[in-house]
């Protein structure tokens, strides 16, 4: 499986945030997208996830399931943790392998930022998808959470998955870097 972009362009609010961007990442690889705030890292992930239209260029997935779109084969973990605060951790996710079993019956609204992030990360492994699109995946995680994230990500890559992560912080895994938006 290979995910590639050629000449990707994005315009947001009348401002061009990406122009002529090329990238490539294959199964078993991670791509760390870096750059200053506002450089288009999140926009690139949102385009891949089908949440934002690109203004030009192409993004192609080779070797995936032909009948499924790129977004259908991807997990998108954005800035905001996609959890239902009124539901318990167990109700949000009947599967917990990320150190949250002690909080399984608590409403998710009571979780700390790091615990909410762990719950969001658990969603990545609850339903298997080959492509992980991660926006600042280690934000709010303590050292133990970062190590757990790195282990889960290495396992995903070892199974032939691929990862594209927008980040300002080290991911704890081997990743090729794609710098966007000028000098970083």
Q: What is the pLDDT of residues 121-141, one digit of tens each?
A: 777 777 788 999 999 888 888
Model pLDDT, residue 83: 62
Element (H, E) at 151: helix 143-158
- Return d(Cα 61, Cα 162) in angstroms, integer: 11
* Topology (CATH) of 28-50+69-179: Rossmann fold (3.40.50)
Domain boundaries, the chain: 28-50+69-179
φ/ψ of 45, rounded to 5, equals: -65, -40
Question: Looking at the DSSP assignment, which residues form a beta bridge with residue 182?
Answer: none
Q: Which two tokens stand for residue 120?
A: 């969001």
Pairing of strands 2-12, 15-26: antiparallel
Q: What's this model's pTM, rounded to 2 decimal places? A: 0.79
* Whether the predicted pLDDT of 96 surpasses 60: no
DSSP 82: -
């Amino acid at each position: 499986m290979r995910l590639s972009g050629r000449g990707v362009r994005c315009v947001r609010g009348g401002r061009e945030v990406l122009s002529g961007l090329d990238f490539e990442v294959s199964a078993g690889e991670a791509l760390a997208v870096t750059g200053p705030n506002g450089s288009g890292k999140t926009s690139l992930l949102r385009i891949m996830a089908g949440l934002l239209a690109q203004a030009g260029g192409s993004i192609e997935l080779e070797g995936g399931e032909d009948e499924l779109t790129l977004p259908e084969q991807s997990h998108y973990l954005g800035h905001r943790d996609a959890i239902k605060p009124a539901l318990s951790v167990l109700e949000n996710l009947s599967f917990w392998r990320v150190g949250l079993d002690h909080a399984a019956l608590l409403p998710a609204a009571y979780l700390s930022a790091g615990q909410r992030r762990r719950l969001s990360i658990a969603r990545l492994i609850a339903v298997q998808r080959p492509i992980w699109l991660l926006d600042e995946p280690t934000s709010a995680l303590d050292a133990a959470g970062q190590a757990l994230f790195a282990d889960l990500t290495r396992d995903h890559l070892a199974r032939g998955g691929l990862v594209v992560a927008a980040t300002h912080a080290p991911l704890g895994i081997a990743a090729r870097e794609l710098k966007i938006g000028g000098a970083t």
